[in-house]
Amino acid sequence: EAQVTQNPRYLITVTGKKLTVTCSQNMNHEYMSWYRQDPGLGLRQIYYSMNVEVTDKGDVPEGYKVSRKEKRNFPLILESPSPNQTSLYFCASSLQMNTEAFFGQGTRLTVV
């Protein structure tokens, strides 16, 4: 089954404690991206990757890091989480940037 898998689905953490949200896709897609969704602000792109070892900033990259060492995986790293990073995060993948995107189920992160 074609899917994008994010883990964990829910996470509560404390300020400053490094965390990683994993994202994996099984469709051999080249393009992957991370979004955060906040009430009243919609979905905003954090980072995207056009292919292995190619990543670039989206609209709200501050406080986040990503890596794309393998085609299937695109982890999101918060080196020092802060409360303003409390949000609902989505990973997505698509064959290319402007083609149909498949989304993970989301990770609800709370930073206290």
Partner 1 sequence: SQQGEEDPQALSIQEGENATMNCSYKTSINNLQWYRQNSGRGLVHLILIRSNEREKHSGRLRVTLDTSKKSSSLLITASRAADTASYFCLEGAQKLVFGQGTRLTINP
Q: Which chain residues interact with partner 1 by CB under 8 A?
A: 4, 33, 35, 41-45, 48, 58-59, 88, 90, 92, 97-106, 108
**Based on CB atoms, which residue is closest to partner 1, 53 or 59?**
59
Instruction: Give whichever of 32 and 111 is closer to partner 1, judged by the CB atom.
Output: 32
| Smallest separation (angstroms) from partner 1 to the CB of 44 | 8
List the Cα angle 40/43/46 in 5-degree steps.
Answer: 125
C-beta of 18: minimal distance to partner 1 in Å?
Answer: 25
Q: How far is the CB of 5 from partner 1 (least distance, A)?
A: 11
Nearer to partner 1, 15 or 42 (CB): 42
CA distance 22 to 75: 4
Please state the closest distance from residue 42 (CB atom) to partner 1, in A.
4
Q: Which is nearer to partner 1, 16 or 37 (CB)?
A: 37
